């Protein structure tokens, strides 16, 4: 209250909740795995969905196979090789031709893996290397953009249209504010906040993407 008006404190705290909620949701959307415990065990994220791990739900655009199992996204095993131009070519070739669309599909990866690939290009002698080093050039292998994503694992790359990754709220986000309680008084808190949201994620069409795994970590 010495820095800002008392009425603004609630807005500041709520803005931090909103930011952290967004960060946590994105992390869970990428790394969620119901075989894990704790936070990441809440639901299966996009990478687990791509592996076909979500066998208990009706997959959008993904009918069950003859044996009753849910189909998986086409996969490319990099077998411990580093990220390189050949990997991007192999992933595109793995994708069925009818799904190939460099105007909308991107290669999603960690910022570290993205930086590692740019570093492999900086020694080129055709002028592209210095442009990359100076930040003057955008690299789009075969016309497909590279999209660094926070919290993405360093050994995995996903080729798909971001719109193919579905996320939706089932109802409004609810925030409770308790400014009168024993804990608030004893700990001299401004208030206690509780944020609740009911949401889920899916991959709309599993065939419209390629999951690249076992990439050599930088």
Torsion-angle region of 175 (φ positive above 0: left; ψ -120 to 50: alpha; else: beta): beta
Assessment of whether the complete model's pTM goes beyond 0.85: no
- Burial class (CB within 10 angstroms; exposed 0-12, middle 13-18, buried 19+) of 207: middle
Tokens representing 87?
Answer: 């990997």
- Beta strands at 199-203 and 165-169: parallel, antiparallel or unpaired: antiparallel
**14 vs 209: CA distance, rounded Å:** 37
Note the pLDDT of residue 64. 53
Q: What is the pLDDT along the chain (218 residues), one digit of tens a residue?
A: 566 665 677 788 788 888 999 999 999 999 999 999 999 999 899 999 998 855 544 444 455 555 555 567 889 999 999 999 999 999 999 999 999 999 999 999 999 999 899 888 776 666 565 565 556 567 889 999 999 999 999 999 999 999 999 998 888 888 887 777 877 777 777 777 788 888 889 998 888 999 999 999 88
């Amino acid at each position: 209250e010495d820095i800002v008006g008392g009425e603004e404190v609630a807005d500041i705290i709520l803005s931090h909740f909103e930011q952290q909620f967004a960060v946590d949701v994105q992390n869970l959307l990428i790394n969620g795995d119901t075989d894990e415990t704790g936070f990441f065990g809440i639901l299966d994220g996009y990478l687990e969905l791509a592996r076909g791990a979500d066998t208990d739900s009706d997959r959008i655009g993904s009918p069950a196979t003859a044996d009753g199992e849910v189909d998986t996204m086409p996969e490319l095993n990099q077998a411990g090789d580093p990220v390189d131009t050949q990997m991007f070519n192999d992933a595109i070739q793995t994708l069925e031709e009818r799904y190939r669309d460099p105007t909308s599909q991107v290669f999603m990866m960690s910022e570290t893996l993205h930086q590692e690939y740019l570093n492999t290009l900086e020694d080129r002698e055709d002028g592209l290397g210095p442009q990359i080093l100076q930040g003057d050039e955008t690299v789009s292998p075969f016309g497909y953009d590279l999209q660094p994503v926070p919290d993405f694992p360093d050994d995995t790359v996903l080729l798909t249209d971001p719109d193919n990754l579905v996320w939706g709220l089932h109802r409004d986000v609810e925030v409770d504010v308790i400014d009168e309680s024993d804990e608030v008084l004893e700990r001299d808190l401004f208030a206690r906040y509780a944020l609740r949201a009911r949401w889920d994620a899916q991959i709309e069409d599993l065939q419209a993407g390629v999951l690249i795994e076992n990439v050599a970590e930088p």
